Amino acid sequence: MKIAAKKSLGQNFLINQGIIDKIIKAGEIYPEDIIIEVGPGTGNLTRTLIETGARVIAIEKDHRLIEDLEAEFSAVQIEIVEADVLELKTETLIENWELRNGNYKIIANLPYYITSHFIRTVFEEWPQPLHMVLMVQKEVAKRILAKPPEMNLLALSVQYYAQPEIITQVSRGSFRPIPTVDSAVIRLTPRTEYSLPVEKEALFFSILKSAFGGKRKQLINTLPPIIGKNKQGTAELLAQIGLTPQTRPETVDLAHWLILVNSL
């Protein structure tokens, strides 16, 4: 590459073709698909992506890379878009690219500094993709797939919206420049079976934030202000769903949080 990689944009380019092939396979891509690729960079993943025959929309923030991408991919069914993916308006996705719930897929070797923000933006603001296959830091993959007693806010937020799976672990040597951490490819498949009505959904996230945010994390200390009950009322509610006042949020699974919210 002629241009120096920018650390601030998470530019660690994937040079392991075996991993690229696994990402494409996990994407289950057909010629009639619409694929959003975030951060095509120097085109390493894009090159294999276009072999599927799908329509690719590749969104790259770094102006320095755009000209080469356009030159290399001008003859194929791909749109190179110079933009910050976090700043795309939902109307642009719908009007320019005809994205709808369930008519497209996301494939990305994500710049790590945007991982959580990007996932949240897609779930909260974008039409829902059929699935997203994402390269993320290994530690983040582990946090997303956590189970009790190691639950965390990220796991509950992602698991509420989607079914997460690990596709493969990826060692740091698969990238240039070599990053300081290992990675993993995950697939997130959106689901609606846990969907709460809008006001309950807002309450669900507020409850989780208080439960995981406080220093004294026993539920009897963190829940009362947010659910509008005193300690006795809170203890009774917890007992009804089989939890004790001393329960800590890391030990509670998604199903129990949903029962708690639905019983308010």
Say if CB 169 and CB 184 are below 8 A apart: yes
Cα 131–Cα 133–Cα 134 angle in degrees, nearest 5:
135
| Whether the bond into 177 is cis, omega within 30 of 0 | yes
- Asked if 11 interacts with ligand SAM (CB under 6 A), we say yes
User: Alpha-carbon distance 37 to 171, whole Å?
Assistant: 22
- Asked if 186 interacts with ligand SAM (CB under 6 A), we say no
Determine the length of the chain. Answer: 264
Residue 144's closest CA among 118, 124, 171? 118
Residue 257's closest CA among 184, 214, 196, 174? 196
Q: Name the segment binding ligand SAM (CB under 6 A); options: 34-42, 96-104, 202-210, 251-259.
A: 34-42
The alpha-carbon radius of gyration of the chain (Å, integer) is 21
Nearer to ligand SAM, 80 or 260 (CB): 80
Nearer to ligand SAM, 162 or 170 (CB): 170
Shortest distance, CB of residue 121 to ligand SAM, whole angstroms? 10
Q: Name the segment binding ligand SAM (CB under 6 A); options: 39-47, 124-132, 204-212, 249-257.
A: 39-47
- Report 41-70 residues binding ligand SAM (CB under 6 A): 41, 44-45, 59-62
Nearer to ligand SAM, 55 or 61 (CB): 61
- Asked if 249 interacts with ligand SAM (CB under 6 A), we say no
Say if CB 52 and CB 34 are below 8 A apart: no
Shortest distance, CB of residue 237 to ligand SAM, whole angstroms? 42
- Asked if 35 interacts with ligand SAM (CB under 6 A), we say no
Binding site for ligand SAM (CB under 6 A): 9-14, 38-41, 44-45, 59-62, 84-86, 109, 111, 114
